[in-house]
Each structure stands twice: as structure tokens, then as C-alpha cells.
A and B are shown apart, each in its own frame.
Chain A
Amino acid sequence: MHIDPLRDGFSNRFALMALSILLAIILMAILAPVLTRFPPDYYTGQIFSPPSYSHPLGTDSMGQDIWSRLLFGARTTLFVAASVTLISTLLSFLVGASAALIGGLYESFWMRIVDAMSSVPPMIVMILLAAYLRPNLLVMVLLLSFLSWPIGARIIRSQVLSLKERGHVYASRTFGASWWHILKSHIAPELGPLLTAIMIQDARRAVFMEAAMGFLGVSDPMVISWGKMMQQALAFTYLNVWEWWLLPTGFALSLTLVSLSFLGLSLETAMDPRLRKDELGAE
């Protein structure tokens, strides 16, 4: 059976939609200086100005252009998401795969750590740590990565455990192959789709956590963040400013999260044979 879950997963309608939305957000983040005339921290001289030609989403209580802040906020969100995803997935892979391949005490050690970390709600740990550390962006990324790798590690370990019982892995061992060769030629390619799914989940979690930290006001005050923008906007709900301040920000955040969810969902469907609609793959 030759199935390419990645291709299947990314080719359904939901996934395509989600992908294009994500792509749009990424483009907005990259092209932010081109799409707006005002730097995000620039004082425009008027506060609470409603949307106009020069300020598409008006200005906030500090007289800053909301559209600019939205665009630059996307940069923060995507940077955090990307870094956390990379670091966390790498950690998951290293710990999960090595535990499965090496086994024994080493495996038990790491799996108990994974158990311990999974039993603590990451949100609370994060709030506590952030409240004391007042983390800048880098520390935030590290903290988030540190909190999110165990889930992926457990999934990868179980997958590698099953992969290493595959016939072709046994066959490879009978040529005298090292574990490194097996990992590289037989296990990593098979893990591809799973790793992608884990990465998407990690990204979604990171976006959410970063926003939440901003919203709770425990992150670096200098960083422009969607979560923080929403928190600031909430203070002025008695004015109608929330229509162009709170709403678009919330909408952008939701859209990002929903797209990532859709992407993850359709990948998961493609990878699980029981959820596949067409029985015999797309080849």
C-alpha cells in the first residue's frame, strides 16, 4: 500500500482553504511595512479615530494605527508559532524516537518525564512562570517549547515502536544497518506525515498560548501582540471603538487558529485509514 498522507491531506477543500488563509496571513506579516504607512508605535496625533482612508482600522487609545499593529502583531504570532514548532517538534522527535529505539531504562526515564509534564496544565505553569520572569520573546519561545514537546514525544515514540517492528526495518537490520541508518532511511520518511501533524498542533498551541499570555498581560510589554491588543481594547468596550479594534484582532486570531485546526484535522483524516473516505488511496 503506497499512501502519501501529506498529499492527500493537503489536497482536500478544507485544507486548501486553511492553507490559503495561512498563506495570506504570512504574506501580510512579511509585507507589513509595505501595506501600511505608519510604524506600529507611531503616535498619529489622534486617538480613537474611526476607520478612515489613512487609518483603515482607525487608531487606538494611544493614537497608534490599529492596522499597522495588526500587521506587526501577525509577525509576533507567526514568529512564536514557527520557533516553538521547530524547537518543540525537534525535542519531541529526539526524545520519542531515541526512547523507542534504545528502550530500557532510558526509555522509562523519558516516558516518566513525559507523564509528569503532561499531568500539569501548561497554562497555569506558563502564567506562573511568566508572571515572575516577565519573559521577552525569546524566553517566551523557549518556555512554550519546553511545555509542549511531551505530547509529540509520546506520539512519536509509539509510532516508532510500531515502525521498528516493520518487515523492512528487520530486513535492514539483517544487512548490519546501524540505528542511525534505520532512523534515516526507514523511520524518518515514514514519520513525515506524523511530524507534520505534530508541527501543526504545536503551532496552533503556540499561537493560542502566546495570545493568552499577551491577553493576561504577563508577556513582554514592548512586544506587539494580538492578545495584548485585545486586552487593551477590552478596557474601552463602553466606546464603539471595539468595532474596529477588538473585532478585527479577535477575527485575525481566530482565523489563524481555525486554519491550523482545519489543516491538522484534514491531515489526521488522511493518515488514519479508518477515517479515509475513499478506501484505496488516491494513487
Chain B
Amino acid sequence: MMLQIKDLKVSFGKAEILRGINLGLEIGDSISIVGESGAGKTTLGLSIMGLVKGSHSGEVRFRGKDLLTIPEEDLRGLRGKEIAMVFQNVEDALDPVQRAQDQVAEAIRIHQRIGAKGAEAAAKKILMSVGLKGDKARAYPHQLSGGERQRVIIAMALANDPALLILDEPTASLDALTKADILRLFRSVIVGRISLVITHDIALASALTEQMAVLYAGEIVEMGRTDEMLREPRHPYTRGLIRSYPGMTTTKDLQSIPGRMVHGLRGCPFHERCTQRIEICQREMPPLREIGGRQVACHRGGIVPLLDVRDLCKSFDSCDVLRDINLTLYEGETLALVGESGSGKSTLSKLIMGLYEPDSGDVVLEQQKVLKRDISFYSRVQMIFQNPKESVSHRMNVLDAVLEPLVVQKKGTREERLIRAKEVLDHVELPSDDEFLQRYPHQLSGGEVQRVAIARALALGPKLLIADEPTSALDPSVQAKILKLLMGLQDKMGLAMLFVTHDISLARKVSDRMAVMHKGRIVETGATNEVLSNPEHPYTRKLVQCASGEPEKMDDRKMPDREISKATENIEINLGEGIRCRESNF
């Protein structure tokens, strides 16, 4: 290995900034290191440069030499020659009283026996190659724009044709257009080197590097191919990062990761913010293990599948309502079930809930087949119904309604139940004073009753929430509030949600993945943005077009309903042969 990092640990005083990094890179490898600020990304870069202060242990071997132990002179010989770094602050890295080409020439002369003239010529050539020529090359830094200064810095880093290039937030302060230019430049310069891109910009990482490592509190929690990781993150933190990043392809509203990063935590560094933690996570640090072509550091092997629906069939009076339904829902994600009324969406959710009996097929919850719907099942899976005024008995006041699940499951004492009821009312942003607790549904607005219904569903602390058209009985502004609430709860509690709706534009805003139902079949599933931007099944196309308000654009002659139905019928055959199924590899 050209660059081999072994168990690198760095700490400043008591704060452990890096907690055992292992990384091996060859010429031609490009990797991005992503994570929140403070995760230790820059420290990692500096360690490789041999610039790290603070106590450290482990090895950083470059061409066999340990950069942490070799003498300072040898290090200087490597730095800027073999290893170069583009620093994150464009303003400070340049000497304001020197011309651009002089600064580049200086970088060359430090490492090469070359005359002043030769160095100047070489510097000009390099500046030319990064897109600065003539007058610009002779300009002082203050005469250059941010993008141009960035080019100068890149030229300095490239001056001695380094084998290892470290880019630390290289585009952080640039506008989108300049960024695009610089990005193009980077793409050409990283060829034939080892490049390490330190960034919190996921778009940059995906555009620039083949591999990606997610750093959290000084540890790599997930590492693998960039495109695969972005499409299906396996570590909950990776997913959180992607969800909080405003990309042009993501359709779901931004979601934050609850809590904040704490260094030096015992056990898994992420466990305090993780919604799927188990007991072992607090005790032991999970090793980075290979799981399905990806390295993930998680005791649970990454994001766990919460609900599996396998080959579920249901018919009412010999009329097939659901046929061979297969679904997987992961911890903390939202799966939207989309389709017109009568496509079997509600039936499916009621089947999962055990309100109907399936004809065949299984429901698997947390890797265990659900044989009977008992109290333990219902404390993990809860449902919110379409019409709140129907689902909350008009004879129960707010308190009675929220207490009901606790009473049914005989949870806690009377006082504990009361405390829990007030707590969940708090979660759904409702008052919990006595006056409010005594109100009856008809004294509340539709939105408030739906909040009561949500609070009631949360009282048992479920992991999975099935929301059957939870907002279709509400007006748009109330709907928006309820959806925000649901997504906030998802952040906070890691709730997985099966969001049943006929409104594809609503599904677009709330879901990570989408399953489209037509005539009792799932005709297409996949990441929401992919399904919407490139719908494969004609029925999905139709739904998307109708939702975009462009039904007139639809060429009905080309794809009459008959054809759509035919396509749906064919799904079965194709699924059986495994030829075409967009069922994501999630």
C-alpha cells in the first residue's frame, strides 16, 4: 500500500479526536472523508501531512515510512513534494505581498534544484494548467477572485506533482458556478494520484471520489463506494448526514440528526444519537466490518429491517384485493405506499396491523415472524387512521383517549400512566393542563384530534407507525403541521413509518422510499427521488403526470388503461423470473 494508516489515534489533552483510524490507499484511489464539523476530518488530514499537534499513536505509512516517527527534515522533504494539501481557507493560505506565480515558483524551488527562471516558467505552466494565464499569473492575491485564488492554491499544491493530494474543504467558500469550474479542475488533477477529499459536502464527495468514508467522533463508521453509499446508506449516521444535506435530487424535507456529537464516549460513538441502539452499543465500540461489500461499524450490522411483508395475499369474496405483496421497511425510514383508492393500500395496512387476516403470506417484525398479534406486537407497531374524529371515540375525553392503550396493556400505575400521557401530549405539541385533558373530541379541531390520535399511538413507544392517509381529512395548513410533526417524531424516536397516501406529491415530500400500488400489486418500489424522476411502470408515470398537473400531456392513445393493467399483470411473471424488478437492494 502506498498510504497505510494503522490504528491512528490522536488526542488533545483528554479529548480523543481520532480513535483508531485504519485506511489503505493505492495510487489512483480517491476517497472522501465526510462528517460533521468536529468529527476529526481535518485532524486526519493534518496527521497525514505530519502536521498534527497533540499526542498520537499508531502509524501513518507513506511509501513504507512512518510519517509520525521520521525526523522533521525528512518530513519536510516529503511535504509539498510527495504529499500536498489544499487547505480550506482560501484567504489565509496565500502571501498577500507576493505575486501568484512567485508563490508557486517558491513551492517548486523548495523541492527542486532549479534556477529562478526555470522555476518561473514551470510555475506559469502549472498556473496555465489550472486556468490562470498571463496577467492573472502575475497578479497579487487581492487582485484575484475567490475562485482564482483557489486555483493558485491548487497550483501550489500541484507544483511538485505530489503522489498524495489532500483536499480539505476545497470548495467551501465558493459559489456554485465557480465551484463547478473548480470541480472540473479537481477531476483532472486527481488522476494518477492518491486523493483524499475532506468535506462535509456530499455532492462534492459524490462528484469527485470513488470511495467514501464517514467519520464520526474520530471513528470511521461506514466506508464503501460513494455512489452505493449515497443510494443506500447502511449506518444510521450516514443516513442522517444524507437526509440533512440539501441535494437537488432529494425530495424529502431536510431532517436533522437529534442530539450533538460527543467525543470520547464509551461504546459506539454514535449510540447516544442512534435510534436503534441496543444494550451492547453502550459498552463496546463496534469494529469496522465488511457487510455486503461495505465496511460498517455497527453492532446491528447497519440499519436494521424492521418490517418484512412476504408474499401477502388477500381476497374478499374471491375478489383478489392484494396479490403477492413484498415490502421491507427499515428502521427510521419512511416508506410511502402510493396508489389510487381501491388499489389495496388500506387493506394492506390493516393486514399488517392484524385487523384483517391474510389468506397467505407472512408479516415479519424485527426478523421474527408474527404469528399472533399480541400485546408485544401492538406495543411496537401502531397505526394512525384517516379520520381522527372517527378513530377517537366521541365519548372519551383527551385523557381517556390517550390513556386507553396504556390501560389496555396494563402498563404502569395510574400515576405513571398520567405522566406518560402528558409526556406524549407534549411530543405532539398539545397542552397537557387539566382543562385540555377533560375536553371531548367535538370540542377540538380536526388537527388537534389527529394530534391526540398520534399521541395515543405514541403512548406505547412504537418503532413502527402505520399512517393511513393521516392528513387527508385535514386542510392543507393543518396537514403541513401534522406532517412536520410526524417527521420531527421520526428524527427524535427513529420511528419507521409506512405512509399510506393517494397523493404522490405528498409522498414525495415525506418518504425515503416509495412503493406504488396498482390493482392489489406493488408495481414499482425504489428510492422516492428515483421512482419519481424515472418512473418505470406506466402506472407510476401516469400518477406522476397527473400529480404534476399535466394530464393533457399524457398520450392516452399510446398508453390506455388497458395497457397499464397489462403491465401490472406482467409484473408477476417478471418478478418470478427476477428479470425486472426495481425492488431496491436496500
Closest chain B residue, CB of each to CB of A181? B408
Q: Which residue of B lies closest to A186 (CB)?
A: B393
B408 touches A168 (CB 8 A): no
Bound-state Cα–Cα, A57 to B394, Å: 53
B440 touches A2 (CB 8 A): yes
Contact A176 B404 (CB under 8 A): no
Q: Give the interface centre of A181, A185, A189 by most chain B CB atoms within 10 Å.
A: A185
Considering only residues 95-112 of chain B, those with a C-beta below 8 Å from chain A are none
Option from A168, A176, A186, A190 in Cβ contact (under 8 Å) with B377: A176
User: Do A170 and B391 have beta carbons less than 8 Å apart?
Assistant: yes
A168/B392 in contact, CB under 8 A: yes
* Closest A residue by C-beta to B391: A167
Instruction: Choose among A167, A171, A283 the residue that contacts B456 (Cβ–Cβ < 8 A).
Output: A171
With A174-B382, A176-B373 as known contacts, state yes or no: A185 contacts B404, CB within 8 Å.
yes
Cβ-closest chain A residue relative to B390: A167
Contact, CB under 8 Å: A1 / B442: yes
B114 CB-CB contact with A under 8 Å: no
Give the number of residues in B that approach A within 8 Å (Cβ atoms): 33
Find A167's partner among B385, B404, B442 (CB 8 Å cutoff): B385
Q: Chain A contacts of B373 at CB under 8 A?
A: 176
Known: A176-B374, A189-B395, A283-B442. A170 touches B355 (CB 8 A): yes
Q: Which residue of B lies closest to A4 (CB)?
A: B395
Interface residues contributed by chain A, number (CB under 8 Å): 20
Residue B547 interfacial (CB < 8 Å): no
A171 near B391 (CB under 8 angstroms)?
yes
The reply on B453 being an interface residue by CB < 8 A is yes
Shortest CB-to-CB span from A145 to chain B, Å, is 30
- Complex-state Cα separation, A175 to B374, whole angstroms: 9
Report whether A168 and B390 are in contact in the complex, using a CB–CB cutoff of 8 Å. Answer: yes
Interface flag for A37 (CB, 8 Å): no
Is A276's beta carbon under 8 Å from chain B? no
Bound-complex Cα distance A167 to B456 (A): 14
Q: Return A177 CB to nearest CB of chain B, in Å.
A: 4
Contact of B375 among A168, A171, A176 (CB under 8 A): A176
Residues from chain B with Cβ under 8 Å of A177 in the complex: 404, 408
Do A171 and B395 have beta carbons less than 8 Å apart? no
Query: In the bound complex, what is the Cα–Cα distance between A170 and B391 (angstroms)?
Result: 7
Residue contact A171 to B453, C-beta cutoff 8 Å: yes
Contacts between chains A and B (CB distance < 8 A), count? 63
Instruction: Give every chain B residue within 8 A of A171 (Cβ-Cβ).
Output: 383, 385, 391-392, 453, 456
Task: State the main secondary structure of chain B at its contact with A.
Answer: mixed
Residues in A neighbouring B393, C-beta threshold 8 A: 168, 185-186
Query: Within the complex, which residue of A166, A174, A181, A185 is in contact with B355, where a contact is CB–CB below 8 Å?
Result: A174
B409 within 8 A of A: yes
Tell me the smallest distance from the CB of B74 to a CB of chain A, in Å: 69
A175 in complex: contacting residue of B395, B396, B405, B442, CB < 8 Å: B405
* 8 Å CB interface, B374-404 against A: 374-375, 377-379, 381-383, 385-387, 390-396, 404
Are A175's CB and B355's CB within 8 A?
no
Cα A176 to Cα B378 in complex, Å, equals: 6
Instruction: Determine whether A7 belongs to the interface, using a CB cutoff of 8 Å to chain B.
Output: no
CB distance from A181 to the nearest CB of B (A): 6
Bound state CA distance, A196 and B408, in angstroms?
A: 28
Cα-based distance from A190 to B392 in the complex (angstroms): 13
Which among A170, A171, A181, A189 has the highest number of chain B CB atoms within 10 Å? A171
Query: Is B353 part of the binding interface, using a Cβ–Cβ cutoff of 8 Å?
Result: yes
Does A13 sit within 8 A of B, measured CB to CB?
A: no
- Cα A166 to Cα B373 with chains together (Å): 20
B460 and A175 within 8 A (CB)? yes
A139 to chain B, nearest CB (A): 40
Chain A residues whose CB sits within 8 angstroms of the CB of B383 once the complex forms: 171, 174
A173 nearest CB neighbor, chain B only: B355
Which residues of chain B (306-361) have a CB below 8 Å from chain A?
Answer: 350, 353-355
Instruction: Check A36 for interface membership: any CB of B closer than 8 A.
Output: no
CB distance from B355 to the nearest CB of A (A): 6
Least CB distance from A100 to B in Å reads 16
B408 and A175 contact, CB distance less than 8 A: yes
> In chain B between 3 and 30, which residues have their CB closer than 8 angstroms to a CB of chain A?
none
Residues from chain B with a CB closer than 8 A to the CB of A174 are 353-355, 378, 381-383
Query: From residue 42 to 101 of chain B, which have CB atoms closer than 8 A to chain A?
Result: none
Tell which of B383, B393, B440 has the most Cβ of chain A within 10 Å.
B393
Chain A residues in 8 Å Cβ range of B375? 176
Q: State the CA gap A189–B353 with chains docked (Å).
A: 25
State in angstroms the CA–CA spacing of A174 and B465 once bound together.
Answer: 11
Query: Contact at B453–A2, with CB atoms within 8 Å?
Result: no
Nearest-Cβ distance from residue B216 to partner chain A, whole angstroms? 37
A172 at interface (Cβ–Cβ under 8 A)? yes
Q: Give residues of chain A (188-208) contacting chain B, Cβ–Cβ below 8 Å.
A: 189-190
Known A-B contacts: A166-B390, A167-B386. Give 20 more (CB < 8 A).
A1-B442, A2-B394, A2-B440, A2-B442, A167-B390, A168-B391, A168-B392, A170-B391, A171-B391, A171-B453, A171-B456, A174-B353, A174-B354, A174-B378, A175-B404, A175-B409, A176-B374, A176-B377, A177-B408, A283-B442
Q: Which residues of B contact A (CB under 8 A)?
A: 350, 353-355, 373-375, 377-379, 381-383, 385-387, 390-396, 404-405, 408-409, 440-442, 453, 456, 460
Closest 3 CB pairs of A and B: A167-B390, A167-B391, A175-B405
Q: Please name 29 pairs of A and B residues whose Cβ atoms are closer than 8 Å in the assembled complex, sorted by A.
A: A1-B394, A2-B394, A2-B440, A2-B442, A167-B385, A167-B390, A167-B391, A168-B390, A168-B396, A170-B385, A170-B391, A171-B385, A171-B392, A171-B453, A171-B456, A172-B404, A174-B355, A174-B378, A174-B382, A175-B378, A175-B405, A175-B409, A175-B460, A176-B373, A176-B375, A176-B377, A176-B378, A177-B404, A185-B404
